Homo-oligomer: A and B are copies of this chain.
Amino acid sequence: MAASAPEHIHPREVPLATALAALADPVRLTLVRELAAAEDWERPCGSFDVPVRKAALSHHFAVLRQVGLLEQRDRGQRRYNRLRRPEFDERFPGLLDLALRTDLD
Residues of A within 8 A of B (CB): 15-18, 20-21, 23-26, 29, 91-95, 97-99, 101, 104-105
Contact = CB atoms under 8 A, between A and B. Distances in A.
Contacts of A98: 16, 92-95
A41 to B, nearest CB: 27
Nearest to A15: B105
Contact of A94 (B18, B25, B94, B105): B94
Given A16-B105, A17-B29, A94 B93 contact: yes
B17 A25 contact: yes
A99 B26 contact: no
Nearest to A97: B94
Contacts of A99: 16, 20
A26 to B, nearest CB: 6
Contacts of A17: 23-26, 29, 105
